[in-house]
Amino acid sequence: MKSFHVFTCGDINGIGPEISIKVFNKIFRRSKNTFLIYLCPDNVFKESIELITPEFDYVIHNNENNLLTHSGLLNVLNIGSFRIDKGIPTKESGEASLASIYKALYLFEKGGVKSIITSPISKQAVKSAGSKFPGHTELFAGHFGVENFAMFFLSKKFHASLITIHEPIKKISSLLSIEKVKAHIELINFTLKNKFKVDSPRIALLGLNPHAGEGGDIGAEEEQILLPAIKLLKHINVSGPYVPDAFFTDKKYRNFDHIVGVYHDQILIPFKMLNFNTGVNYTAGLPVVRTSPDHGTAYDIAWKNQASAESLFCAYLWAKKISGN
């Protein structure tokens, strides 16, 4: 059986469809010997190639039965017809996003999928369409019943992950525990060794509080949770907790294979500042390789041929590399 990389369309009212066509142009310029499947409503695909001229051949399929017979061109699998309302989140755009994702998971379970590359979705749109998950990461983990998973960020400058993901700041402390921190770092260590071929990973853990708690004077989480977790991980080269602002301003990230952050913006702000347009989101702990760009739907520039496809292209390159490992 042939193996292939699958792209989802993302939110059809955002930049997903146009950056997908731009990425396919780049991929097929590099190599015609590529097997790709694009999960997209046929009306959305046809309108997007009116905006971005395709530099590749394609076949539109209405079912998955003959997908494996077409290589060297883009195999577009029609997931239905959905109304386009450019630049706004809608229930219908959420339904299209979910249809694309669940079709990708269905194809993976049938066999032959090397990776799934997902375009950005709107949390508001998928919620209005009935999804109980706040984002791709939680949706994929929920589908597979995986409890220990990680939002893992990839770039040439540094790799990082989050112990808590899309959570309100006021809940972060209550969500932390020694076991949760320990399990996360163990997953990261395993992933670095097995997916990225890092023989002896060097991992840094950031503190939660200003000045990393300053010995307990500015919060107790470092002394009560983070340090005890590190002490239990004698078999892993992990250190910290580091003062977050100094860690990045002093460029200490250069000394590590991976940075573990406690909450969302602690990692995402420096990551996006240092990796504009090239950062990639990877979900560690899943049975399938899943990557995505590290930006959102960009409704303000959607369907105007203004969006950069660089991050999505990098997501494809990382997916190829990880699945090859």
SS (H, E, C) 286-300: CCCEEEEECCCCCHH
CA angle 210, 214, 216 (to 5 degrees): 105
Residue 36 has a CB neighbour count (10 Å cut-off) of 23
Closest CA to 29 of 56, 58, 65, 7: 56
- 148 to 162, 168, 183: CA distances (angstroms): 12, 20, 7
**Could you give the number of structural domains in the chain?**
2
What is the number of other CB atoms lying within 10 angstroms of the CB of residue 302? 22
Q: Give dist(CA 235, CA 145) in Å, integer.
A: 27
Q: Residue 204: what residue type? A: A
Look at residue 320 and tell me if it is in a domain: yes
pLDDT of the chain, 325 residues: tens digit per residue: 468 999 999 999 999 999 999 999 999 998 877 899 999 999 999 999 999 999 999 999 999 887 877 778 999 999 999 999 999 999 999 999 999 999 999 999 999 899 999 999 999 999 999 999 988 999 999 999 999 999 999 999 999 999 999 899 999 999 999 999 999 999 999 999 999 999 999 999 999 999 998 999 999 999 999 999 999 999 999 999 999 999 999 999 999 999 999 999 999 999 999 988 899 999 999 999 999 998 999 999 999 999 999 999 999 999 999 998 8
The pLDDT, as a whole number, for residue 194 is 94
Q: Are residues 74 and 184 in the same domain?
A: no
User: Is the domain of 253 the same as that of 284?
Assistant: no
Shortest CA distance to 120 belongs to which of 268, 37, 13? 13
C-beta separation of 165 from 137 below 8 A: yes
Q: Which CATH number belongs to the domain containing residue 102 in this structure?
A: 3.40.718.10
Same domain? For 259 and 282 the reply is no
Closest CA to 19 of 269, 316, 243: 316
In terms of domains, do 129 and 219 share one?
Answer: no
- Within this chain, do residues 291 and 206 fall inside the same structural domain, yes or no? no
